[in-house]
Chain A
Amino acid sequence: MRDKSWPELVGIQVKSVLQLKNVHKAFSGVPALAGVDAALPENSYISLLGPSGSGKTTLLRVIAGFEQPDGGEILFAGQRIDGVPPHERGIGFVFQNFALFPHLSVAENIAFGLENRAVDPVTDTRVVAAKVRDIIGLVGLSGLEGRAVTQISGGQKQRVALARTLVTEPSMVLLDEPLGALDANLRTRMRGELRTIRERCGVTFLHVTGSETEALAMGDTVLVLDRGRIAQSADAGTLYGRPASADVARFLNCYNIFSGAISDDAFESPVGRLALGGAQQKSGEPAYAIRYDRVAIRPLHASAAGDEVRIEASFVASEYSGAAINSFFTLDDGRVFEVETHLSHAAPETFEEKARYALVWKREDALVFV
């Protein structure tokens, strides 16, 4: 159950548009993709999350056809496409740096694919103009048609890059860290826009990102890529609540993770025995994970209730982010433990630096990897 993606979980039959079977790719002996298996559903927004060096750009370039895989199969709409040149795949690619044609105007950039593709180019300038006008309206660039692409802002460039791909009506669009080059404000706004644009077009977007918040916020399905393999494929809620392994939990950046081993009714961790009671997840690498926001900070003299786990730590610092406050503690083995307190639940408390506190959570809130 847990390894399935959300359409299968909720029992909807969704046709997969792209299937990857055991895709391998190495660069001068160093493996970048070590057997990627995935099936991407049609008409959905998929985010591909991976830390830098996990092979996410390589995977995207292999799907697009800019790199050839060393082994494995890539099926697109039921057809094998490994070996097919990029432009015959029906897959659009949006580059991280946008890769706009610097000598052409906004409209000329968008019309490029229609006019210049080798297969079935559109020669009727009125048809081109109409299509370009439609797509410019769709991505919200009206009024900028004649501008040089060197004279528009980052967000506008992003839209041109997207429009340039969408106007050729691809069955799928690959976006390589599309928001990476934008500033924080614009990034948040473009998230919503990208999703809206995708819904209007009805094609699958595969969005590569290194940011867990972006991946969770945008993806109907989130794929987590780790060391050249798909570590998990799930909807955002499942992924956040039930990461498939300690490594995935680490990328999500919302879990305190202890390594150790299970003995009888407890988890032997470097900070002591942690009582079991919550969900257990098969992953091959034993670990104990507790979400930042499931931990309560109490005075040292407070003792734990029967269904609670309690450890002690010294307070280091806290970071205020408006709706929440993140407090950092050092454990006895020197590691940092993070607690997120939502301020809608309680007014911010002040803690004394270097003083010891009890950190307490419910047994059932912990996720144990076995």
Chain B
Amino acid sequence: MTMVATSDDTPVETAAPSTRRQPDRTALLLAPGVLWMLLFLVAPILMMVYVSFWTQTTFKIEPTLTLKSWVTFFSSDTYLGALWTTIRIWLIVLASTLLVGYPAALFVGLFVKNKTLSTALLVLCVIPFWTSFLIRVLAWRPMLGKEGAINMILMKIGVITQPIEVLLFSELSVIIGMTQIYCVFMVGPIAFMLGRIDPSVIEAAQDLGASFWRIFRTIILPLSMPGVVVGAIFVSVMVLGEFATSAALSGRKVNLLGNIIVTQVGSLKWAFAAVAGVVLTVLMGAVVAALLRVVDLKKEL
């Protein structure tokens, strides 16, 4: 503790004379960002909360405050079902991206000793992003369809006699699609944290007699947790707000909160859309807050 205190002393003292000019410049530098966030983040969120209390009739919406939209949302099986589906799909996709992403990150960040090669492999992970999001989602259709690539191959080699129908236009296809699209957001942060582990720390653990799994459990996993948390935040925020993948790959069978919002906005039901939006925002905030509880990112990064 004393060490921290002494190292803090010097910069404070040396910075003192220049603090007089500091405030105006700080304000100047902050202004664009603050303005932007106020206009495009804070104001819309406040507006959304406000609109969720407006009175909605079939053809128009009036700024008369009412709880009607909220009551409708929480007493309707459709909306609550969508909320539940959103949470379920989010948890499954989070688990599957971690399951696929962690070993990949372990390989790229730790087992590949050559830094150039590991950077090249990370770039390879990003290559799918050269095509648009929608194309990547839609590309799963010819893969998973009844007469798609996977069914055709499996039938050719005689594993199945009937095409597997559950592959496309089901919850499974949505999960497959999302896992593929968001996996890289899990791989990146984890590989970064793993790459920062000093190889001699692992050698030291080896020298002290620990087996690979022990070293993984006691050294590698705890040291990569900040990466896992950052990756999980990326994936969570994106999956919770998803609507395009489920629309394209579920044949409208899977309705997420995102899909509800799109439909409601499409039919000009602004109040309902706002309610769903507020619920979704609160959910995301809770998820991010919970994830940040897992690891003290400020300390670890």
Contacts and interface: CB of A to CB of B under 8 A. Distances in A.
Nearest to B204: A99
Interface in B1-20: 1, 3-4
A343 B4 CA distance: 43
Nearest to A87: B209
A153 B3 contact: yes
A97 B209 contact: no
Contacts of A117: 208-210
Contacts of A112: 205, 208, 210, 218
What class of interface size applies to chain B in its complex with A?
20 to 34
Most chain A C-beta atoms within 10 Å of own C-beta, residue among B3, B204, B205: B204
A103 interface: yes
A85 B198 CA distance: 20
B204 A95 contact: yes
Contacts of A66: 203, 206-207
Nearest to B212: A118
A19 interface: no
Given A118-B214, A151-B1, A151-B3, A95 B209 contact: no
A95 to B, nearest CB: 5
Nearest to B202: A99
Interface string A84-112: 01111001110101011111000000001
A113 B4 CA distance: 29
A116 interface: yes
Contact of B210 (A64, A92, A116): A116
Contact of A97 (B1, B3, B200, B222): B200
Nearest to B300: A103
A165 interface: yes
Given A102-B201, A102-B223, A64 B3 contact: no
A116 B205 contact: yes
A154 to B, nearest CB: 11
A168 interface: yes
A90 B3 CA distance: 36
A91 B203 CA distance: 13
A168 B209 contact: yes
A74 to B, nearest CB: 16
B216 to A, nearest CB: 11
B211 interface: yes
A151 B1 CA distance: 7
Contact of B200 (A95, A103, A113): A95
A119 interface: yes
B214 A93 contact: no
Nearest to A85: B206
B160 to A, nearest CB: 44
Interface in A23-52: none
B201 A101 contact: yes
Given A119-B209, A151-B3, A165-B208, A100 B201 contact: yes
Interface of B: 1, 3-4, 198, 200-201, 203-211, 214-215, 218-219, 222-223
Given A65-B207, A95-B200, A101-B204, 10 more contacts: A66-B203, A85-B206, A86-B203, A87-B209, A95-B203, A99-B200, A101-B219, A116-B214, A116-B215, A165-B208
